[in-house]
Structure 1
Amino acid sequence: MVSYGLEEKTALMTSLTDKLASTENSLIESTGRLDRIKEAFHRSEARYHSLEEMERNLEGYQEGVKSILLSKGGDTSPLAGIHGIVADFLDIITPAPNIPNRDNIEGELQAEKVIEAVLGERLQNIVVEGQEDTKKAIEFLKSNCAGRTTFIPKRPRPEKYRIEGKALQQLSNISGVIGPAMTFIEFREGYEALAEYFFSDVVIVDKLETALNLLKETNSSYTFVTIDGEVVESSGRITGGISNGKSPGLIQKRRELRALKNELLRLEREVSGTEGEVERAKNEKVLLQVQIENINKQIHEETIRIVNIDKDIEALIDDEKRIQLRIETLCLEERGIDSEISNLSSELNIYNEEIQRLLAEQAEGEQEIQGLIESQKLGRERWEEAQRGITTRKLELATRKEKRESLSVRLKELGERIESATTLTTDKEESLSKIDQKIDGYLREKSGIESTITDLWQKKDAISKEIVAKENERAGREERQRLSEEELKEKRRVMEDIKKEINQFEIQKAEIRLETGHLKETIYTTYQINLEEEIKNLNLKDLNIDELTSSLTALKERLNRMGPVNLASIEEYQELNQRYEFLTSQESDLTQACETLHKTISKINMTTREMFLNTFNIINEKFQYLFQLFFQGGESKLVLTDENNVLDSGIEIFAQPPGKKVSQLALLSGGEKALTAISLIFATFLARPTPFCVLDEIDAPLDEVNTERFINSVKDMTGFSQFIIITHNKRTMEA
């Protein structure tokens, strides 16, 4: 039975070991895949947030366009008729439609690049409902010195020749012609007239040579654009080359933004699914390790049992030796008894002979006494002497009879002892036979168990070597991952430096713009000269700066020599009038600035409230998830004390560990408070990660199990943040 049990355990151990190795391989593969997916997710997320921030701040937009869009307001706003920019209503058809003569086309068609080449800055033309809206917008730009831009009505007048019918068929048959641009785009419903206006006469071709040949041969009013972005207009004007800017165009950025959003959703699903696989693999690994540990315990118990069997065998051998010694003693005692019986038998025979002799002497004595009595001639002395002899003979006879009876009793006792010794010897021999059989069985069982244990130890050594190899491989992979993360962090740091420089340049740009506006206003106030109109009327190429400078100096000297005009009253009136106009203008500007400031504050408060609520909801969701992860259940949440006044509201933390009814944080134990605080801190990191974080003895109140959960959570977040942990916890330092 024991050998059969060990065979079953050996087979089960082999099966569990193979399954554990398979599970560990699956876990390593899933973990690696999860790390790669998370890395891709973080890259895409960073790119998405960057593009989203640029789009939200209208980076890359013209100054006038940015001013109009930021001040658009609601339906009651003076700019309510502003619909947006042309790019807001334009979509590229994907996948691209069937292109005839595709095999003869050199290069790859990038529709966004082609459309951006055709429209250029017209992508930022502002679409309005009508001319009145255009007037209001231009007046707004003038009054606020907010720049210039171009406006286009929602339904512009058609002024171009549409490519259709026979002309379309003829163009499609020409080698190198990809097709009309209208087949690659679509405008939102209600804005189709914009598509007709911009693209009705645009034809996409493969290269510049084809466009030039078509312009020469067809003598048409078409505009040709190549897949490399060169534009050939019917007037003969050609636009081409390479832009020095490395940032993508407006359409490409928006398409990339949509693609990144879909990619993030897909990666989130993959992360969720892969995390489930990793968790299942971890649970299965733990279960298998527990089962293997149980098998090892059973093997250990079998080993202890073998040791106990060895002890039983040694005890039985000692019993056998003692029994054998007892048998030998009994045999010696038996031989002594036999010798004594032989001696006693000889002595008994002697006594019997003596008794017979005495009986004969007694008979003779009695005959002699009878003869003496009959003869009555004997004397008294002889009679007494004879009587004494008879008495002596009778005493000797009685003594010999007692000795004979004593020998008979002793002989009987010896016989009983011999019989008892014989029975005991037989029983001991039977016991020894059974013990020998049992020892043989134990020895056979011990041999089988030792063989099985040897096989199991060999397999265990092989598994241990494989585990060490896997651990080394994992360590190498983690080292490579760490180097990649360091490189990524360095690139992020460089990107942050670049962003800071860009922001600094933007600030300098704004300061220069303000200073320029102030100088323009000062010149206009002092000399009644509009610099922008003067600059337009000037031919800057023909100007000589040195001559102008010397002329300005001479004029200033003449003015100084002339001195004040005698008409002091007129001059004072003009100065006071100018001062009055200036103060009136300043008052109007201040009033308008206050209104703008109030609007800006309202908009900032609204944006801040939205951003706060979004961040609060994300942190609340992450906090609930991490709380249940650390406590293995329970409930928790963050609650605003004043939901109607979000920006000035306080935040209350409610936490209910599993098995407790308390919800106030003050009623929790020290360890539970620490876990709750860690959950909230990590939730904040998950909502908006920082480059690095310093944790000072945050794990001090935690027990071993919660310390392990804390370490695992820190490891999960090292993909996007670097942690510096100050701790006295041995387990944390080992990790």
Structure 2
Amino acid sequence: MYIKSIVLEGFKSYAQRTEVRDFDPLFNAITGFNGSGKSNILDSICFVLGISNLSQVRATTLQDLVYKSGQSGITKAVVSIKFDNTNKSQSPLGFEANDEIIVTRQVIVGDRSKYLINGVNVSNNRVQDLFCSIGLNVNNPHFLIMQGQITKVLNMKPPEILAMIEEAAGTRLYECKKRVVQKTIEKKESKLKNIQTVLKEEINPTLEKLRQERASYLEYQKLVRETEHLDRYCIAYNFFVAEEMKVSSVDVLKEMQSNVEKLQESMAEIELKVKELNENIAQMEKDKDKEVGGTLHALEAALSENQRVNTKARSALDLKKQNLKSEEVKYSELVARMEKDSKALVSKEQEVKKIEKQLNALQEESEKDADALAAAQKHLNAVSAGLSRNNNGEEATLSGQMMICKNEIGKAETEAKQAQMKLNYARKELKTKETEVKKMDEGYKKDQKAFEALEKMKKNLENQMKELNYTEEKEEALVAKKKALTSGIRHLRELYEGLMAKFPHLQFEYKYPEKNWNPNHVKGPVVSLIIVKDLSKAKALEAVAGGKLYNIIVDTEVTGKKLLEKGELKQRYTIIPLNKISARCVPADTVKLAQNLAGRDNLHLALALVVYDSELQKAMEYVFGTTLICNNMDNAKKVTFDKRIMTRSVTLDGDVFDPQGTLHGGNCWFYSYNNILCILMCASSQSAPILSKLQEMKDVEVELKKKESELGTVENELASLKKVAEKYRELKQQWEMKSEEAELLQKKLHQSAYHKQEEELLALKKTIAECEETLNTAEENKKKAEDTYKVLENKVKNAEAERVKEQKNSEQELNVAKKKADASSKKLKDTQQEVEALVLELEELKQEQASCKQQIAATEEAIKSYQEQVDAMAAEVAKTEESVEKSQKELAKQKEVIALHDNAIKDKSAKMSKYREQHNELQFQIKELEHDIIKRQQEAADAAAKVTKMLKEHEWIASERQFFGQPNTAYDFKSKNPKEAIQNLQKLQECIEKMGRNVNTRAMNLLSDTEERYSDLMKKKRIVESDKLKILAAIEELDQKKNETLDIAWKKVNKDFGSIFSTLLPGAKAMLTASKTNNVLDGMAFRIALGNTWKENLTELSGGQRSLVALSLILAMLLFRPAPVYILDEVDAALDLSHTQNIGLMLQNHFRNSQFIVVSLKDGMFSNANVLYRTMFVDGVSTITRCEQFQKRKIESSVKKSKKE
């Protein structure tokens, strides 16, 4: 099979329809100038073969293959190739009957390409299969050797060379197909896994479910049959009972009527006795009224009047006491305020003194800085005047300073001489005295040792006293602190009691209901268990809680019951048991929605505004959990009546909005069980919310507990310090005694002759040290003066430069001093202003203290006045109480007289009550019997109706009623309990009803269908798995054959590779060897020899030789399994003419069964071709002409032969 002709239309540079005809079956060459369209002929062949890598045809998209990319009016490219298929051994699979095959491919701009084989549309895969079957795989084109292909082969790695051998052997197609099959197997495997998953997760559970439903359905049918049987039995029993009732009711009714008549007779007798007793009691009452008269009423009126007067006097006394207590609280507050102001005054005075001290220091510093500034200015003036500063900072001329240095040198020398003389004398005296001192007497030694022992004992006692860590000041401080704390506690307790007196309803007093009572069971009133986060919302919170604010919280309902029964509560309380209370809270979503309507800062849940212990959560939700607090009425109205919210809300002013449509306004929102508590709460709410006052009480309580705790600590410290103090005083007394003894011994030692000699020795040693120091000082001063003199001499020599330098230094010093003086002045002014401000504050504090003293004096007078009034009123109350007591005694005497008459009346009344009870009992029995008679009559009528009805409803009763209740029958009511049967029937009916809702009546059919489908699916799955194993086995067998084929191909290609390379480069050898793994299947590498020398690497060859190696390999592979067509595109570009000529001859000699289409620019190559095509570029379009060279070469060879002859 070979190419006969090519038709190009609109392809690349061939704008017009161009036909390249009459290709030679063996060797064709194409030549022409660069850019004339030579390679486009080869590109058109690759285009038809179905190339997918467009870069090999020098394009990026299919549109680039159209002439000028479709911009010149030509919008499609068409290429048709006619193949000669007369040689059936090279015929593609399926086309053996065709002598010619025409393959066409066209591409339209903006559209996909399409293929035609012999004028019939086919797919891309069909075309590729056609060409791959004859070794023309354009996507792995080893039959196509393009420009640069030689270099590519040279750069190939062993696996890539192996791929070329595979392509030549024809196993590459197998590998492609194998990969496709493996991918298909992977896909099928995933589908199998999906099927397995479906089986496991869906089908198997469905089958199991259907099996369960079938079992449930069978159970349901069984229960229905049992129910029908039991229902028949129960109906029979009900009929039997109704019939029995109908028959037996007549006798029972007669007996009951007789009993009623007997009871009515007994009741008439009792009524006569009661009437007689009534008349006797009435007569006795008349006699009592005559005897007693109106004395009792008069005594009761007198007692009532005395009690009214007493209550009025006591109320006035209580009110006056309350006023007295208020003044006392006011007095305590004023005293505390005065103490606080006194402390602040002392602190402020100390602060003023401290600031004044700082002010004085700043003034001194400012004066120093001003003096330094003046000195710096003076020094600058002196330097400007030609003077210089000496070591003492004084201004003088250089010559004057040199004179001073000379004087200092002379003075130092004189001092040194005098000191040396004095030193010599002292040393001489010291030696003399030391010899005398050695003769010390024994008495002095003994006293010296005693003194040292006493000092040691004193030191020991001092250490013991230090270890005690006791100071008298510490004890005094603790005593003073105790006194202050006691005073503070007394004041706080009075303040707390005063606040508690204002709000007595906050106290919850009760008696322990039982022994070993745990007070923790009772938590207390709600109001005392909360802390308000923001006091501005206290009024609103009071409105939210209402009367619940004073409810008592306990742990359980048992505790509440004990309190109510045995707690001796003084007033009514509502108890909240934590374990029983059911609280409801506004949902968070509703609160969030309300906040979105009113604004986040304008609305809060009441519960969120109080702090409480977590154990009280339920109770607090019950009190505060169902109400929202808004900042004003508009927001409250908007939130409360919104259909999505509809929740009660309260404004900060206490106005309540209820979703029921009610609105409450005002200040008093508290309700209690008695009027007094309500009045107290309303009165307190008019001034300030009770919760804000409650916070004040809690603060006072906390402070009181803190002070009491501190007092306990101080008292403990004092108790522990008492023992330490006694020990300390004992040690101190011993230390003082030892000190006196040591002092006497010291005086004795100081008055001895030995001590005087010791003092003289010390004085001499001191003199020697002073003289040595004077000598050293004199030497240093002399050296310093000499150094200064030298410096001055140098300055005199460089007078002008030194003056300039000193002037600069003086100016710098002046600037620094000026800055420092300005800073000091500013700091001084700021401090003066601060002192003035503090002085003003101090004056204000003094004025406040004076005002406080005046108020305290006025309060003391008011307390004295109230106390006198309270005493007078207390005396008045005592008098009224005596009157009340007297009236009560007189009334009691009169009641004793009346009691004597009442006892006789009571006896008669008791007897009459007894008769009435008997009468009522009989009347009750008669009513019961009458009721039973009516009931029995109704039951008899119902039984008769029931019998009739059941006979109509259940026809089978008439035929089987003779068996009802008979032994050894289906209706034996004694052997089988009818009540149990009724209960079982009810249970079965409930069970059937419950199962009837869930039972699947189609489960039987569905199960059989599903099991059949399941079996079919499993069978198909097994078939697929079996096919997979067969395919894998076939692949394994084909892999073995592929390896064998590759081995044959390698040996054949290796042989031809060496032969072709030797032809192209005489005297050279070449072969393909296995790569580093020594396995040909892992890759192959080149091995070249020039002469008898084998080269280690291709880099040792020249460029032309390397090109011949690559070309030899390509041609050797072509020889193994020749393709029908080979295309070479300027493969001789890197070769010289001799090599090119050899290629042409080699192609003629070695390739006699394949068609070659070669593009070349060298005569040596295309001169060997049988047909030569020349391309030209005319008017922007490529053209082509044909020249048959076989005849020309024949003529040339005959001419050469004749010339030789």
**What TM-score does the superposition give when structure 1 sets the normalisation length?**
0.30
Larger relative contact order, structure 1 or 2 (CA cutoff 8 Å, min sep 6): 2
Larger radius of gyration: 2
**What TM-score does the superposition give when structure 2 sets the normalisation length?**
0.20
